[in-house]
Structures are given as C-alpha cells and as structure tokens.
Copies of this chain bind each other. A is one copy, B any other.
Amino acid sequence: MKGRPNIRTVAKEAGVSVATISRYLNGRFVSAARGRIAEVIAELDYKPSTIARNLSLGRRGCIGVVVDSVQDPWFTQLLVGLEEEVSARDVSLMLASTELTGKYDSNIVVDWIRDRRVDGLIIAKAQHRDRSLIREAVEAKLPAVLVAPNQEFQQVQVVRCDNRSAGKDVARHLCDLGHKHVAFAGGPSNSIDSKQRLSGLREGMNDRGLLLNSSNVFNCGDFEVDAGAKFGRQFFDKSTNATAVVFANDLLAIGFMRVAHKLGVRIPEDLSVVGFNGLPEGERLWVSLTTVAQAFQQMGTAACRRLFESIDSPGPVQTIEFPMTLIVRESTGPARRSGSRSRTANGRGAGARR
C-alpha cells in the first residue's frame, strides 16, 4: 500500500478498465459493476486527482477574481459566497486588484486571459475603464461573469441586484417617517447603480404623490468616504429644504456623517441619512446607518454557479437580479419640522487633527 490509489488501482481492484471508472466518476452510465465500483472506491478511499483531470481536460482548475481593491469591504462580503461555492468544487482562486498600485492597471488580468491562466473570470463592480479587459475576455472566449457592474456590458453574464425596487423601498420608508423633501447624492455620474437607485427613489416618492426635486440631486464623483465628506461640506454650506439625504452607497454616507458630526448636525433629529449596500461597518457607527443590503453571499454563489455553467457548456448570456433588503437603523427618524435645522447643539468642532 504505497502512496495514494489512482484510477488504475481502482480499475484493477474492481476488475474493470480505467475507462469505465472514469465514466463512472463523471456520471455517465455504467451498467455492470456499478455497485462493485462504489465499494472499491470507498474501500480504497480513492480520491480522483483534480490536477490530472484538469491537465487532461485542458483546464486550470482555477478562476480569476477581479476587483478594484481587495480591501473594498463590499468585496469582502462577496468573497463569502465565492469561497463556499468554489471550495465545494475543488476549484481555486486567483485574486487581482486592478488598483493595487494606486493607479488602474489591468495588465495582470490581461496576462491571465492571454496565457489562459484561469478557466473563467469573475469581475466585481466593473466600470467603464474595464471595457478593454472585458473585450479581451470575450474575444478569447474566456467565460466571465460580472457582479454588480457599474455600466452596461454586452455579451457577458451579469449578476446584480434590484436597485430600483430598493430605491422604492427607501422612498416608502422615508415617506412613512414624514419626509417630503429628500435629497440624493450619487457616486460617479455614469454609475448604473447610482442611476437606478435614484430612479427607484424618485418613482417611490411619486407613488406617494411627492416630487424628488432635481435641485436636490447631486453627484459626489466617486464612491469613497472622502467624496461623501466633501459633499457634506458643500451641502451644509447652502440652505436646503431636504430633511433626508439618500446616498448611493454606505461609504459616501459615512464620510458625510463625519462632517455632519463635526458641524453639530444631529442625525437623525436634524437630518436623516440612508446608505446603500449594507456594509457591516455601518452598524458600528456612532449612529448606526440605515441602509439597503445586498444579498452578497447569494450573489457570490450565483456568480460562481453561472461561471461554471458557462465553462462546462457555453450558453446564452443572462442577467440574474437579486432583491435588496432595507435595514432600518438609527440614522433615519421622523422628519424635522421644516426650516428648523439646528447647527449648534453639539458644535464643539473637534476638527481633523493631522
């Protein structure tokens, strides 16, 4: 009994050919010694070598996961779903951050595609700059699935969430609290997520006979904390009738709330704030953030499954959409009476030090 048993050992022991064992393992029909084969496999504790299998099939047994930054908390959430699905199939992962060095660089991924170092690609939050990357994959006929892309892309599988309905949910929640004037602060101006969330919000308010005035619609430029803070400084500089601000994502909201806190604006007493995505971090804020959660884990597993399907048998592209879930926390409350925003309650203005 030296070393691990291989397919040959099993064949010999079961009195059939290796081809039969192989067929048995791959689910194709084997009339005769079915039971006997199963027995032998169990007896020998035989585990097929995925690496040999992949060599034979011309596969890598490995899929590439592309994201702006591995540090993005959004991505971490997605990873949970990927992990589960991928390890169940004995497939491994290659990670690539396109912004590892500080500026965008997709060369690593392009190399993966050209050298076929991965069997497929999962691209998280693809945006405009990823176009060439995606084109490359399509041309190389390398299966790819986009998770929550920020743009419309053709010819690729997509897994995303239902932003419009989520926007409507937020509208309903705010209206129920008596808010009549709501502002929206988006991310990059061409972000699909941003647009859809806004459009859902608008629609939801319309349903209540309210209007989301376009003078109350802003763009922060990107999705980062700093942009939210910058927007906050501008926002509080001019007067507004808005009693609630909805942000296109949680990080923007967090940046904004920091500024509000410095300026002594109380949340939610003076102003309600809503984010999008459902990052765990939002729950840990001094005033926990009302947000709309994505079904991260489900999206992760769905993306994987879809990718594996495409690898096994190239099918038609399709888009899978998941519902989002409103999570009401502390940052939303009843609308203040119009025109009474206090800015002195807590105005110690600590100010950033460094």
Measured CB to CB, the residues of A under 8 A from B are 4, 47, 49-52, 54-55, 59-62, 70-71, 73, 75-77, 79-80, 82-84, 86-87, 90, 92-97, 100, 108, 115-117, 225, 251, 254-255, 257-258, 261, 266, 269, 280-281, 284-288, 328-330, 346, 348, 350, 352-354
A-B contact pairs, 12 of them (CB 8 A): A62-B92, A70-B83, A71-B280, A73-B76, A75-B76, A76-B76, A83-B96, A92-B92, A266-B348, A269-B348, A288-B352, A329-B353
* A285 partner residues in chain B, CB cutoff 8 A: 258, 285-286
Whether B61 lies near A51 (C-beta < 8 A) is: yes
Whether A76 lies near B71 (C-beta < 8 A) is: yes
A108-B87, A353-B330 in contact; A55/B62 too (CB < 8 A)? no
Q: Which residue of B lies closest to A262 (CB)?
A: B286
The residue from B55, B71, B284 contacting A255, defined by CB atoms under 8 A apart:
B284
A47-B115, A76-B71 in contact; A284/B346 too (CB < 8 A)? no
Told that A51-B51, A84-B100 touch, could you supply 11 new A-B pairs with CB distance under 8 A? A49-B55, A51-B54, A73-B76, A79-B95, A87-B95, A90-B117, A93-B94, A225-B284, A269-B348, A329-B353, A329-B354
